[in-house]
Amino acid sequence: MPLNMPPLQPVTDILHGVSVTDPYRWLENRNSSQTGDWIADQQQRCDTYFFANPKLGSLSDFVRELLDVDTVEQPTKVGRRYFYRRKKKGREQACIYMRDRLTDKERVIVDPSALGPFASVTLHCIADNGDLIAYGLKHGGERAETIHFIDVETGLTLADRLPSGHARGSAFASDNAGFYYCYEPDTSIEHERYHEIRYHRFGESQHPDQVIFSIARTPRSRVTLCSDSLNLGTIFSHDRGSDLVADFYMASRSAHQHWHPVFFDRDCPVGLFLRNGRMYVQSFENAPNGRIIELNPDGSEGCTIVPEWQSPILSLCLVSNRIYVSYLADLEPVLHCWSLAGEFLETAPTLKGGSFSALPAYGQSSESLFCSYESFTQPPSIFEYDDLRQRFTPWVVNDAVSGVGRYRIQKTSYPSKDGTQIPISIVRLDNDGAVGSRPTILTGYGGFGISMTPRFSTLVTILLKLGATFALSNIRGGSEFGNSWHEAARGRHRQVAYDDFLAAAEWLCANGVTSRETLGIFGGSNSGLLVGVAMTQRPDLFRAVLCIAPLLDMVRYEQLGRTRKSTEEYGSVELEDEFLALYASSPYHRIEEDVNYPSTLFVTGDKDAQCDPAHARKMAARLQDRAAQRNPILVDYSFERGHSAVLPMSMRVEALTRRIAFLCIELGIDIPTGRLHDSSRA
């Protein structure tokens, strides 16, 4: 422990009769000078580790070459205009553009470079006629954003704005005279007594905006706003015992202060949306995979618009009067199209072997469906769907990375602890035809019903280039094989996901893909928790751990950051059986005094309100301050980093270079000097 660090100040809590000691509770206080000194010491340790490697410069050059490229995101077509975010090569951040589809001329609508060194912007909402846009402005990696408005024709920014907060739905008024919004302030919401929906008339004083809907909060409640050209709707999700249920209220735009209840206490999620004065809801009642139904005016169930299919609904996209519904069948994308009257129109063609996703629209009048496609070998490209010709046309296509080489992709499965077969994808370069054990990086996710499909990663691409193998395991906790795949590892059953991941590591070693001395794992957010559990439950299995923006103290995760609403996924310390499961697997509490844990790099920052950086601070301190710890424990800490990947390009290059360098150093992967794609490995 550094000389200026305080002595241990353990805090002991008694939870359900169990004594739980926390020796680094003081590191939860970011405002203390002691925590500040600790962070400064960690930054110095980290710099010393990386600056000792003379090959960092050549690696940084290659990272920039692959990362700093033209990218386009958030495409939406309204009338004759396309709106999108675009980052051109050499720019620090993406700008918001508008392109006239008749003249094909594009111009910048918002350039964040004039708004601050860490400013980034995203499309938030587009008026029905495309004459106004709302955009979100962030500084650093924070989740909260301010909302600003621009007149598209003149390019002028209106004086009106919404303060820093979290948007829960918004819409321009039909005449563009104002803006409806549901907005959580960027403050501790425990001090706010009510959820509110407000209306702001452009050009008028914003304080106070007109409150058009208000309802009292409960501990886990949330209000969201939805709309169509005729009506406004609000979904109020709230507690009913240990469950979350939803109520729905609606008002006409012409009388937006007069709301009437449509239904109460429906099981969450309901996924409700409005179109042409009619109400549609995504329902899981008597349909585990989900279906779309139309509601009658009294809230009762009307006709089925999209019946339940063999796989769960992954996402919905509403374009004109069509509903595009995406699924995952045998780990491949499927896209069905239905009319709002319940007529099946077509199965849209999709690209296989990767991640094919329908992109959300940012305006009620969006006229085109856009989809993205990426794979292990293909960076994200965007396609626009031509419903007359029933085909996708390239809109923005990124070429495969040049100079990397050919890949060999193996898809197989392995048995988990309980015998369940778990799919795994193994990727390596196949230029020299070499087989046998190589340094390997393994990841997975296993939470929140999120399915892991092949995606492009600059980190993985460079490590593959350097001769490593990459493995992706589809552990339980996702929805790769339906809701049951998620439920098998949710709440107090979460150890199932951890067992699946550990079994993947054991299988890779037993089958000669790699060895324990050359196996690394990485993950962020929920996956950061996954690798934290893996390294503490089986430290003998891994050589290196890259743990990004994690949760690690699962006894106090509900008290740190904006994670209280995650109790549906992880469980709550307030319930004895769920507490016992959380405590049993909590990485922070599983550290033993006499174990030399794998080399670990934690990545976190001050602006992460989702996974509080106190998790990484406390975990790193507890690992470092033991005589048995010989492998390095590092913390790459940034004041601007948060849970959103929106930092300037130069900072992203530096951060990614360090992550790759750490894995190379610890797994024994050579970093050539000079340009990497000129290496003999190519």
Give the residue extent of every domain in the chain.
Answer: 291-397, 402-678
Cα 563 from Cα 580, distance rounded (Å): 19
Peptide bond into 648 cis (omega under 30): no
Cα 680 from Cα 508, distance rounded (Å): 27
pLDDT at 166 over 70: yes
Query: Average pLDDT of 576-588?
Result: 98
How high is the pLDDT of residue 242? 74
pLDDT tens by residue, 554-574: 999 999 987 877 998 999 999
441, 520 contact by CB (below 8 A) = yes
How high is the pLDDT of residue 679? 42
Worst-scoring range by mean pLDDT, 45-49, 215-219, 363-367, 506-510?
363-367
Q: Which residues make beta-bridge pairs with 427?
A: 409, 470
Q: What would you measure as the largest C-alpha separation in the chain, in angstroms? A: 72
Read off the pLDDT band of 642 (50, 70, 90): confident
3-state secondary structure of 253: helix
Residue 643 among the catalytic residues: yes
Strands of the sheet containing 145-151, edge to edge, are 119-126, 132-139, 145-151, 157-172, 178-185, 194-201, 210-216
By CB atoms closer than 10 A (0-12, 13-18, 19+), residue 313 is: buried
pLDDT at 222 over 60: yes
How high is the pLDDT of residue 404? 54
How high is the pLDDT of residue 4? 54
* Cβ atoms within 10 Å, residue 666: 22
Amino acid at 282: Q
Of 148, 589, 615, 643, catalytic: 643
CA separation (Å) from 516 to 95, 460, 468, 519, 543? 45, 19, 14, 5, 6
How high is the pLDDT of residue 6? 65
By CB atoms closer than 10 A (0-12, 13-18, 19+), residue 537 is: middle
Worst-scoring range by mean pLDDT, 148-157, 181-190, 399-408, 618-627?
399-408
How high is the pLDDT of residue 321? 86
Of 311, 457, 525, 527, catalytic: 525
Read off the pLDDT band of 597 (50, 70, 90): very high
How high is the pLDDT of residue 432? 56
Percent of the chain with pLDDT over 90: 76
pLDDT at 3 over 50: no
End-to-end Cα distance, the chain: 44
Cα 1 from Cα 613, distance rounded (Å): 19
pLDDT tens by residue, 437-479: 999 999 999 999 999 999 999 999 999 999 999 999 999 999 9
Query: Average pLDDT of 320-339?
Result: 93
How high is the pLDDT of residue 119? 94
pLDDT tens by residue, 353-404: 999 999 988 877 788 999 999 999 999 999 999 877 788 999 998 865 554 5
CA separation (Å) from 77 to 128, 152, 395, 396? 11, 14, 12, 14
Per CATH, the number for 402-678 is 3.40.50.1820
pLDDT at 668 over 90: yes
Residue 135 contacts by C-beta under 8 Å, 6 or more apart in sequence?
Answer: 96, 109, 110, 121, 122, 123, 124, 147, 148, 149, 150
pLDDT at 84 over 90: yes
589, 573 contact by CB (below 8 A) = no
By CB atoms closer than 10 A (0-12, 13-18, 19+), residue 371 is: buried
3-state secondary structure of 587: helix
How high is the pLDDT of residue 431? 67
pLDDT at 434 over 50: yes
Query: What length does the chain have?
Result: 682
Residue 525 among the catalytic residues: yes
* Distance from chain centroid for Cα 143: 11
Q: How many Cα atoms sit within 13 Å of 637 on the Cβ side?
A: 24
pLDDT tens by residue, 285-311: 889 899 999 999 999 999 999 999 999
By CB atoms closer than 10 A (0-12, 13-18, 19+), residue 466 is: buried
3-state secondary structure of 164: strand
Cα 633 from Cα 492, distance rounded (Å): 30
Helix (H) or strand (E) holding 658: helix 649-667
Strands of the sheet containing 278-283, edge to edge, are 272-275, 278-283, 291-295, 301-306
* Cβ atoms within 10 Å, residue 258: 10
How high is the pLDDT of residue 261? 95
